[in-house]
Chains A and B, each alone.
Chain A
Amino acid sequence: MQKSIKKIFGRTEFYVFALLVVLSVLIQFRSGGQFYTANNLVDIASALIVPGIFAVGTFMVIVSGGFDVSFPALASLSVYATTKFMLNIDYSGGILLPLLMVIAIGALLGAFNGFFVGYLNLNAMIVTLGASSVFKGIMQGALNSKQLAVIPEGMRAFGTSALFTATNSQSGLTSRMPMAFLVFVAVVILAWFLLNRTYFGRGIYALGGNPASAKAAGFNVKRTKFIMFILVGMISAVAGFIRVCMMQQCHPTNMLGMEMNIIAGVVLGGAAITGGAGTLLGCILGTLLIVMVENSMILLGVPTTWKSVFVGALIVIGTGVSALQVLRANRSASRARTMTKEGAK
């Protein structure tokens, strides 16, 4: 019993969760009881969908020991190409065909990353930095990107369809829980299963911990990286697709720049930046914290002039706590090692 309590206190997820609770109480207090209202919680959940899906992909790459900074560009290009194509052929059907197309393009672009990172063994951050430029360039040059104010009806219908509508009994304000939330849940469940219950998923953790040992243990390091980047491409493309559906317009560049907050959220959630460690739960909690902070500054009564300072400071504090946790874990691990060594003598 004592041991399990100690285990909980030793986990980064616990601290992020505690931070979430403290912050939400603070917002509740400062906003005159507006945080814990049905419609506000739905708003936060709705704002979490896109960053949350992105975070799942980012988490996989970080666990494998690399950084992916190309996913906003990858998502933008995939969804822009899809939307433009669907508009050009006057597509009037449902969501399935555009969704398949966007996933296919995402997979293709992910394979581009995966080839260089996996088979040529180049640094993931450098490759994806370059890939990001390439993807933007294709959008700009080949597709001559500009904002698409109208999106196909099927996509629009999906983006605006609601699972349920939450009403604030006091103010009468209503908020829609988008159907897309189910996609987020599905992506998280699939990723969890993949990472924790399959040989491939354990391979991702293994090669993040130590590629040489992973190879010695029988994992195909190159292929694992390659396939992982394809998956990440697919996941990112889905996130971009949902964003466009929900916004009911396709803006080619306004997802760019999101990568920083997403990576911060994942690291905040306890994923080791050196790879090999971290949990999907932490990743989601960390992202939720960032989303909550970004969308509660007015509720919290922070003046616009101080908003970025506040958000930045919270990220620094949050990641600081996570980093301390990692340090502490490393120290106790090395202590354990010395103890076993001494024991062996």
Chain B
Amino acid sequence: MKKLIALLLAATMVFSMAACSSGETAKDDTQDTSNTGDTTGTGETTGGEDWEIVVVPKDSSNPWFVRMNVGVEEYAEETGVNCYQKGTDQIDATLQAQLVQDLIAQDVDAICVVPVDIQSLDPILKEAKDAGIVVITHEGADLQNVDYDIEAFSNAGYGQFIMDNLAAAMGEEGVYTTMVASLTNGSHNEWADAAVEYQKTAYPNMTLLEAQPRVESNDNGDTAYNVAKELFKTYPELKGIMGTSSFDAPGVARAIQELGLRDKAFTTGTGMPADNAALLKDGVIKSLTLWDPAEAGKAMVSLALKVLNGEEVAAPLNLGIEGYDAMTFREGSTTVLEGQGWITIDAENVDSFGF
């Protein structure tokens, strides 16, 4: 009997693991049932400065979101608004959904969230909206149940910007592929799609690796490193990897260094300056692309405040934050707002950002 139970336990574990790794789609069923119906109509009316605005990042240890926290704290200090960041200790769609549910139960006034997984978070955000909570998101353009989604820039524009950087490193010719955190990540895939489209017209001498046009790094430097090694081994003609997550390019760069492909293979993508200073100065990475997460955090809170105060949100929208002072709606959308906040980081300017 004991053996049977143990066997069952192990089987459950194996299956749950398979379920965890094979996309996050299965998860929403379980969350839906636990928390529906009882949250409607509890949004109480509070006045002016008493708003409580919470920013939920993907996790709280990634330097990207540590930097976002700096922005949120700065905003709170400068304006006196009660806003703060609250994150889970690891990147996990289920944990993030639970955290958002907790915040709904606490009846905060606005939730600003950077979603880990769009499909599983969307129904939870609906609960938030039903409860009268203002929902602002960042990097989640495909979410349905939001008041507004803020993007530092149009995804197409940023994708093209990364492609320009990759093309410059590759000498505008050769075979390349794209890397995203996961195939379900909204923005990463939009950047990569746009970059590939743009390359076809702008850099006709470059070709996409058809056999593996998109690979996953799971937002993990070690995975990016191992995947890159495998790619370069399998496809000797591969000359460039376009990264999107901030773990991609540094991980790929380690593989390039180790495989002896320096100056033969190239990578670029999003990356934090301080973390990559050594790689940039070493020259294995020529340039990285970025926007400032601190400013994005401020912009989310600022927009949440506007909505809470009942101010009109119309393009061009000025949130009073650099790069977010002339925001426009994405074509065909009434919820997605885009700014112009991209920057290039290279060996020269890497030390000038202070983060």
Contacts and interface: CB of A to CB of B under 8 A. Distances in A.
Nearest to B278: A150
A137 B66 CA distance: 17
Nearest to A299: B234
Contacts of B61: 140, 145-147, 251-253
A153 B331 CA distance: 50
Interface stretch (B10-18, B110-118, B128-136, B294-302): B10-18
Residue among A40, A304, A307 having the largest count of chain B Cβ atoms under 10 Å: A304
Residue among A249, A252, A308 having the largest count of chain B Cβ atoms under 10 Å: A308
A256 B88 CA distance: 13
A254 B10 contact: no
A39 B233 contact: yes
B216 A146 contact: no
Nearest to B18: A312
A301 B211 CA distance: 8
A140 to B, nearest CB: 5
Given A140-B60, A172-B260, A315-B18, A274 B274 contact: no
A55 interface: no
B90 A40 contact: no
A134 interface: no
A51 to B, nearest CB: 11
Contacts of B17: 260-261, 264, 312, 315
Contacts, number: 145
A252 B59 CA distance: 11
Given A34-B234, A174-B258, A247 B7 contact: no
A296 interface: yes
Interface in B227-282: 227, 229-234, 236, 254, 258-261, 272, 274-276, 278
B43 interface: no
Interface string A266-282: 01000001100000000
B90 A171 contact: no
Contacts of A261: 17
A231 B199 CA distance: 54
B344 interface: no
B336 interface: no
A263 B15 contact: no
B159 to A, nearest CB: 18
Contacts of B20: 257, 260
Interface stretch (B97-105, B137-145, B218-226): B218-226
A311 B233 contact: no
A173 B260 contact: yes
Contacts of B18: 308-309, 311-313, 315-316
A225 interface: no
Interface in A197-222: none
B330 interface: no
A210 B90 CA distance: 38
A298 interface: yes
A312 to B, nearest CB: 3
A157 interface: no
Range, interface on chain B: 35 or more
Residue among A243, A264, A312, A313 having the largest count of chain B Cβ atoms under 10 Å: A312
A325 interface: no
A313 B23 CA distance: 14
Nearest to A261: B17
Interface in A280-305: 294-299, 301, 303-305
Nearest to A294: B226
A139 B275 contact: no
Nearest to A174: B260
A294 B227 CA distance: 10
Contacts of A257: 20, 90
B89 A140 contact: yes
Contact of B23 (A139, A303, A308): A308
A84 interface: no
B6 A254 contact: no
Given A298-B212, A316-B15, A274 B3 contact: yes
A303 B212 contact: yes
B91 A312 contact: no
A271 B260 CA distance: 40
Contacts of A267: 10
Given A264-B17, A274-B3, A304-B183, 16 more contacts: A43-B233, A140-B60, A140-B89, A146-B61, A149-B274, A149-B275, A149-B276, A168-B233, A251-B220, A252-B61, A253-B91, A299-B234, A301-B211, A304-B215, A311-B21, A312-B17
5 tightest CB-CB pairs across the interface, nearest first?
Answer: A312-B18, A308-B22, A149-B275, A260-B17, A308-B21
